[in-house]
Amino acid sequence: MSASEKAYWLDQLINGPGGGSSVTGLYPGPLTAFNPLSNGWAVNTGIGVSGVWVRYYPLLRAVFMSAMMTCGTTTDGTQIATVPATDSAGNPLRPSQIVTVNLSTDSQRIAAGSNNEGARCHLGSGGSLTVFGVSASATVGEISAWYHVDPL
């Protein structure tokens, strides 16, 4: 392999096809907002947050989701957002199967008996983000989680 071929190969590895796309490169894709939220859920702007975000990481074939939200309807199965299929660089943002995304809240729901129930979100292959196990008294919800876009 000549020096120029090695340089080209390295450029493709780092930058991906076209010298800037992150589809196969090492650099993460662009931050992509998936707000506004729905069913009374909203971005918690009181602490300086401007959106709820996802970002694709090509080496991991995974997406990082970050959200600081004010809680709305807490009924199990309530859809609070739709995650876009791709980012502006064409990277996938939706999983190929339903994944569970941890949701931290300021109040836990008490299930039957005296068991606390952990809050969580389900993200479907169509992009719907739905909540489960959220206490009716919860006011703040936070997501800081990874999920894979390929089947596990």
Q: CA nearest 17: which of 9, 29, 7?
A: 9
Give the residue extent of every domain in the chain: 28-148
Q: Which one is predicted more confidently, 6 or 23?
A: 6
Return the number of other C-beta atoms located less than 10 Å from residue 6's C-beta: 10
pLDDT of residue 143: 96
Distance between CA atoms of residues 94 and 82, nearest Å: 10
Evaluate if residue 95 carries a pLDDT over 90.
yes
**Residue 36's CB: how many other CB atoms inside 10 A?**
11
Q: Tell me how far apart the terminal alpha carbons of the chain are, to the nearest angstrom.
A: 36
Architecture of the CATH domain 28-148:
Sandwich (2.60)
- The pLDDT, as a whole number, for residue 23 is 47
N residues, the chain: 152
pLDDT tens profile 17-45: 444 444 456 789 999 999 999 999 999 98
